[in-house]
């Protein structure tokens, strides 16, 4: 066999091909006020949505991924204007919490995502944008949102005037013998639902978007019968909060805490507090959506 001699011209050609392939992988597709979004970013987000939201690949998913990334860049830019940035330590704590509470460690979650073709940085970027935008909305609008007694009375009347329960369990089913990758995907899906939680009244709407999802209304006293770590998470959660997802034999579970043991005995006060929190969260969400539309209209977005 004849050895192939690498002439200087051939070396240059090979380097050019290699650099060209690398540049293609990270080609800039969009500029959002000079912040770049690459083909790789879009492909990664699309793969992430395929994994966590069971989205089908194709032009529609690519467009959805693109719009999501544009929105997140705008949200991060607004955060920077207010001095709000995604802290690396905080993002890591969220990821570690997602993993450790569900029989995974951070490396296990990273490995599971990697096997599915998703870089862990895709999840980190998503979490960072969510954390920043939440603080931006709170800082800009929390003083503008007020809820009066008439609004609470109307909300209670529409809900039959009854409490939505002490604890609501939202369960996402897992197939028998699910592997680590399947579990990680279901945990990520549950975490996305948790990010959209807007009080106990929103649990029903969250479940509608997930095939096979079930809701159970539990009494506050029933929390003592839950397994660990769900029991500890519920015990430490405040009224109006949803716990991080936990994994059981039956599936991935989230718990919305609607009343504590002490508050359950007071009845009406807890119901009114829950109704007030639900109304405030809804109004904040509406303001956030309108604010993002306004930002987008003013933004310079260049498609390449």
Assigned token pair, 197: 């939680």
> Taking residues 127-149, what's their average pLDDT?
87
Q: Is 209 helix (H, G, I), strand (E, B) or coil?
A: coil
**Which residue is listed with tokens 């995907």?**
185
Q: What is the pTM of this model?
A: 0.58
Assigned token pair, 103: 């029989």
> Percent of the chain scored above 70 by pLDDT?
81
Sheet holding 35-38, edge to edge: 35-38, 28-32, 301-303
- The answer to whether 255 touches 234, Cβ cutoff 8 Å, is yes
- How far is Cα 272 from Cα 227, in angstroms, rounded to an integer? 30
* Position with higher pLDDT, 228 vs 133: 133
| Cα 92 to Cα 125, 128, 266, distances in angstroms | 11, 10, 39
- How far is Cα 245 from Cα 197, in angstroms, rounded to an integer? 13
Residue 82's pLDDT band, with cuts at 50, 70 and 90, is very high
Q: Does the pLDDT of residue 168 top 80, yes or no?
A: yes
Structural domains of the chain ordered from first start: 28-143+283-303 (1.10.4030.10), 161-276 (3.10.50.40)
């Amino acid at each position: 066999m004849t050895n192939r001699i690498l002439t200087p011209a051939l070396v240059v050609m090979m380097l050019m091909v290699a650099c060209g392939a690398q540049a293609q992988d990270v080609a800039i597709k969009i500029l959002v006020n000079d912040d770049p979004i690459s083909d790789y970013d879009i492909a990664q987000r699309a793969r992430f949505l395929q994994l966590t939201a069971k989205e089908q690949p194709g032009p529609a998913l690519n467009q959805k991924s693109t719009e999501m990334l544009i929105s997140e860049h705008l949200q991060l830019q607004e955060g920077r204007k207010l001095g709000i940035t995604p802290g690396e330590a905080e993002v890591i704590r969220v990821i570690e919490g997602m993993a450790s509470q569900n029989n995974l460690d951070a490396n296990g979650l990273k490995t599971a995502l990697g096997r599915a073709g998703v870089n862990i940085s895709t999840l980190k970027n998503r979490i960072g944008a969510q954390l920043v935008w939440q603080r931006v909305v709170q800082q800009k609008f929390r003083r503008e949102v007020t809820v009066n007694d008439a609004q609470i009375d109307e909300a209670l009347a529409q809900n039959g005037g009854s409490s939505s329960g002490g604890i609501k369990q939202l369960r996402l089913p897992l197939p028998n013998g699910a592997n680590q990758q399947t579990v990680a995907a279901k945990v990520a899906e549950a975490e996305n639902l948790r990010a959209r939680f807007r009080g106990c009244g929103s649990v029903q709407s969250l479940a509608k978007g997930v095939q096979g999802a079930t809701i159970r209304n539990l009494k506050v006293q029933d929390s003592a019968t839950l397994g660990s770590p769900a029991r500890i998470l519920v015990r430490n959660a405040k009224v109006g909060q949803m716990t991080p997802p936990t994994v059981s034999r039956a599936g991935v579970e989230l718990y919305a805490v609607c009343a504590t043991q002490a508050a359950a005995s007071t009845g009406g006060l807890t119901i009114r507090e829950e109704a007030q929190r639900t109304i405030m969260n809804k109004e904040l969400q509406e303001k956030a959506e309108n604010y993002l539309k306004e930002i987008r209209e003013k933004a310079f977005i260049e498609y390449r």
